[in-house]
Structure 1
Amino acid sequence: MMRAMPAPKKALFLAAAAAVLFVGTFLLSNFLRGADRGLLCSFSPLFSRPFTGGADVRGELALALIHYATTSQVPQQLRAEIQLTFDVLRRRAPCNFLVFGLGRDSRMWSALNAGGTTLFLEEDKEWYELVLKGSPSLRAHHIKYRTRLDEADKLLKGYRAEAECRPGRADGVAGLRRNGGCPLALVGLPDEVYEKEWDVVMIDAPKGYFPSAPGRMAAIYSAVVMGRGRRGEGQTDVFLHDVDRKVEKAFALEFLCQKNRVGATGRLWHFQIPPQKVALAHYDVEPTTTL
């Protein structure tokens, strides 16, 4: 007669099983649907990594399945939130996917964009090293921010006074790479961040829940600058997590713009940022957003 499984082990088993079913559904669906449409991307070939297909993609998907099948950790976002991003990746992958933050869901994001370029940016050095130790195949960089969460209100109210922060002066690579005069611009990042054209951007970092944390102000601003400077076809899909927090919400409404929001679920908002040739009228009025 088989003995009953101890409660702690049973809980671990159930968590692992749930992870397999949860992530496996997304990964397999992505691969099968993508194969039917040829896995074409909408961005300029100049900025894309050619799709190699075949064993490389199947191998990446298989490794992700094995990872989630053998761990009790599950992705940090809710299923409905993941589905929102997944629907866009299913349409655009393989593409250039920039993710602010490393986490328990990083393998999943990389696998959902199998054959494309998925790059993670992480500010916590210890966490960066820990994640890469367990997932050395992830493409990631450790970066530093110049902002603090307790400066968010000052940054939001004062950015219009900084000429280097204004649209036209701050669009695309030139608006970020060496734009030290704009405190919201992400300068000093690895070259590939500036040299690639990002089709999808996920902002789920850096930390933004204590005063000395970097906050996501610069990530939000810089995602808009990159989107406005887009040279390829189409728009830039930007996802922002934790919009229940006042700083994320305020900066989203000021920079990503309510009229660009095309989807939302849980704590995740989805925006489509048009290139600079499409006017963003909300920059022509005085800011009304306050923290």
Structure 2
Amino acid sequence: MTNSTKKITDIISRYYHEKIQIGSDQVNIIANAIRGRAPGCNLLVFGAGYDSALWEKINYDGYTLVVEHHPEWCRNMAQFANVKPISYPEISVKNSLPINIDNMEKHDIPNVLKEKSWDVIIVDSPPGYTDTDPGRSLSIYWASKISGPHTHIFVDDYERPVEKCYADTFVRSDDFCCFEIARWSGRKMLMLWRVGKDKGFNPVFSVDYPATRRPIRWLVNEPDFRVVMFHDATLPISDMFQLGLFDETTFAVVSFSWVVNEKRIRDLQTFFGDAAEKIGASNVFKNQVILIMNSQEEYEMAKAALPECNIAHVNNTCFLDFDLFKVDAEIEKKYDAVYNAKPLAFKRHHLTSEVDSKVFITYDVNEANEGLTALVDINEFFPTLVERNISSKKVMEVASSAYVGLSLSEVEGACYASTEYLLCGLPVVSTPSQGGRDAFYDEYNSLICAPDPNEVARSVAELKQRLLNGEITSEQIRENCIKRINFFRYSFIDALKICIRKAGINTPDERVESLVMNAIKNNNKLINSRNFWTSRVERG
């Protein structure tokens, strides 16, 4: 989680409470809209209430104005927010329908509403529960008049006749993306969101292959440029183009979990060639999409096959939070080796059979029980201990109780477990492999041995002895690994800088570096900033 995201999450956790009538999901969406316009968001809220402090805090680096017609609420909320009085003359729920435009126009828009160009407007007042309440006819009408194409407008209680009629007439339009956010509180309550046409934020959702739908994650989402990152997916980039989400300030990054072989390269050629031409996006895909490859071999193959594309050698494990995995000299060494791997055939646990003292870290799986992903009973190889489904902190502790880490698959992608071993100060015994984990190996920190149980056991014994003799140290292994992680991180940043400069965006290199590094920090594997196994992208 980035520092900014964590800050907003903390604010909502602190200031959202049961007296606030807007639902928590609705609050999160509004918060995203506000932060999408930050810093400097101009936020207008019709209605002072228990949520006033929440909006003020979420828009901490912008300007927030709350307008309220009820004197008591003005006084009570003035200590929490910038509240100014407003009046709604001669208007009630009863006389709001049918819509009378002449009646609307005879009421001048208050000057206080015209003092800013509003980025986000929330219409949550005046009350409209009974026929004698003022209702929201004027506030919705005024919101439509003082908004620009870039303005997000939220109309609460959209299920009620006045709100729906006026919002449909003055807010909804074929020129804007609008959708309804539901909240259940004994009955279905709706909020209408008219999405502002601004590149800072969009109502975009990703759908992954288990059909889970969630707001799209942005690696960087700033007014001057933004970066979206997809893991093992290129088709969503086509979706984004067709939804109008690619302007000159938008960049997409594609990373891969498995080895990029010749077939995958052919698929990419098709995507960047025929498919791109068919939807008229060839220049976008060539100029604003970056492919990152886990191994040098994959990089060279992709570069030869796709010479006009932006391709960088960036091993995925550089997105590990290396503060989670450390050398802990206080933990007693109990095992000769540790193997952190799912109980699947391609992980080749049988190669550990001659290692007498070993601990397995493993996980529940939902891969197809066939071929490379066939389920294996790892207890058949007599581990000293099996730890299942443990936290990252526990992984560090268990790994640190062993002398050597094992990586024994023949083919996969970047191997997070292997780099985690190195960050914990463990040398690694690996078999020859495809996929990129060897990008972190050298003569100091590893041995590459034949895929034979005896050779694995011999190599474990050799690296253990080197540690005991002081020929290698855990601290140096970790330090060298961090240098390699930073090398890949800066390779990624350099590739992005090139694209930004080509696009003519006047953003200093230091700003690009700072934004990307902050996104990576405390965001292990970019879980909160990367879209995994996305099948499609769609509007709200």
Note the C-alpha offset of 1:263: 3.1
| 8 A contact 2:137–2:166 mirrored in 1 | yes
Q: d(CA) in 1 for partners of 2:197 and 2:93?
A: 28
Q: d(CA) in 2 for partners of 1:113 and 1:209?
A: 29
| 4+ long deviations beyond 6 Å | none
> What amino acid maps onto 1:83 in structure 2?
N
Q: Which residue of 2 aligns with 1:248?
A: 163
1:268 aligns with 2:212: no
| 8 A contact 2:172–2:178 mirrored in 1 | no
1:218 aligns with 2:138: yes
1:109 aligns with 2:55: yes
Write out per-residue CA displacement over residues 159-206 of structure 1, whole angstroms, 9 at most, x where no aligned residue: 1xx3x96xxxxxxxxxxxxxxxx14x453x3x4421211111000100
SS at match of 1:118: strand
Q: d(CA) in 2 for partners of 1:192 and 1:107?
A: 20
Q: d(CA) in 2 for partners of 1:223 and 1:217?
A: 10
1:99 aligns with 2:45: yes
Q: Which residue of 1 aligns with 2:85?
A: 142
Note the C-alpha offset of 1:148: 1.4
Residues 266-275 or 238-247, more deviating: 266-275
> What amino acid maps onto 1:263 in structure 2?
F
> What amino acid maps onto 1:252 in structure 2?
A
Q: d(CA) in 2 for partners of 1:30 and 1:262?
A: 28
Q: d(CA) in 1 for partners of 2:53 and 2:119?
A: 19
Q: d(CA) in 1 for partners of 2:93 and 2:191?
A: 20
Higher-RCO chain (CA-CA 8 Å, sequence separation at least 6): 1
Q: d(CA) in 2 for partners of 1:85 and 1:217?
A: 22
SS at match of 2:97: helix
Write out per-residue CA displacement over residues 102-125 of structure 1, whole angstroms, 9 at most, x where no aligned residue: 111111111111111100011111
| 8 A contact 1:186–1:219 mirrored in 2 | no
What are the residue-to-residue correspondences of 1:182-197 with 2, within 5 Å?
Answer: 182-183=105-106, 185-187=107-109, 189=110, 191-197=111-117
Q: d(CA) in 2 for partners of 1:32 and 1:204?
A: 21
Note the C-alpha offset of 1:238: 0.3
Q: Percent identity?
A: 26
Q: d(CA) in 2 for partners of 1:119 and 1:79?
A: 21
> What amino acid maps onto 2:5 in structure 1?
S
> What amino acid maps onto 1:272 in structure 2?
V
Q: Which residue of 2 aligns with 1:179?
A: none
Q: Which residue of 1 aligns with 2:97?
A: 153
| 8 A contact 2:44–2:121 mirrored in 1 | yes
| 8 A contact 2:52–2:80 mirrored in 1 | no
| 8 A contact 1:224–1:273 mirrored in 2 | no
SS at match of 1:220: helix
| 8 A contact 1:101–1:205 mirrored in 2 | yes
Note the C-alpha offset of 1:31: 3.8
Structure 1 unaligned residues grouped into runs of 5+: 1-24, 34-60, 166-181, 276-291
Q: d(CA) in 2 for partners of 1:74 and 1:28?
A: 26
Note the C-alpha offset of 1:32: 7.1
Q: d(CA) in 2 for partners of 1:130 and 1:124?
A: 10
Q: Which residue of 2 aligns with 1:29?
A: 5
SS at match of 1:151: coil
Write out per-residue CA displacement over residues 31-76 of structure 1, whole angstroms, 9 at most, x where no aligned residue: 479xxxxxxxxxxxxxxxxxxxxxxxxxxx87x876x49xx65432
1:89 aligns with 2:34: yes
Q: d(CA) in 2 for partners of 1:252 and 1:123?
A: 20
- Inter-CA distance 98–30: structure 2 relative to 1 (3 Å threshold): farther
Q: Which residue of 2 aligns with 1:237?
A: 152
> What amino acid maps onto 1:151 in structure 2?
N
Note the C-alpha offset of 1:89: 1.2
- Inter-CA distance 141–82: structure 2 relative to 1 (3 Å threshold): same
Note the C-alpha offset of 1:85: 0.8
Q: Which residue of 2 aligns with 1:76?
A: 21
Note the C-alpha offset of 1:268: 1.0
What are the residue-to-residue correspondences of 1:193-212 with 2, within 5 Å?
Answer: 193-212=113-132
Note the C-alpha offset of 1:28: 6.3
Q: d(CA) in 2 for partners of 1:150 and 1:116?
A: 37
Q: d(CA) in 1 for partners of 2:161 and 2:131?
A: 13
Q: d(CA) in 1 for partners of 2:7 and 2:131?
A: 42
Structure 2 unaligned residues grouped into runs of 5+: 183-189, 199-540
Q: d(CA) in 2 for partners of 1:211 and 1:144?
A: 18
CA root-mean-square deviation: 3.0
Q: d(CA) in 2 for partners of 1:123 and 1:222?
A: 14
| 8 A contact 2:77–2:83 mirrored in 1 | no
SS at match of 1:153: coil
Write out per-residue CA displacement over residues 127-172 of structure 1, whole angstroms, 9 at most, x where no aligned residue: 222233xxx1410112110211111114x1x31xx3x96xxxxxxx
Structure with higher Rg: it is 2
> What amino acid maps onto 1:265 in structure 2?
I
| 8 A contact 1:261–1:269 mirrored in 2 | no
| 8 A contact 1:149–1:208 mirrored in 2 | yes
SS at match of 1:198: coil
Normalized per residue, which structure has more helix?
Answer: 1
- Inter-CA distance 186–200: structure 2 relative to 1 (3 Å threshold): farther
SS at match of 1:248: helix
Q: d(CA) in 2 for partners of 1:272 and 1:78?
A: 19
Q: d(CA) in 2 for partners of 1:74 and 1:208?
A: 18
- Inter-CA distance 153–137: structure 2 relative to 1 (3 Å threshold): closer
SS at match of 1:102: coil
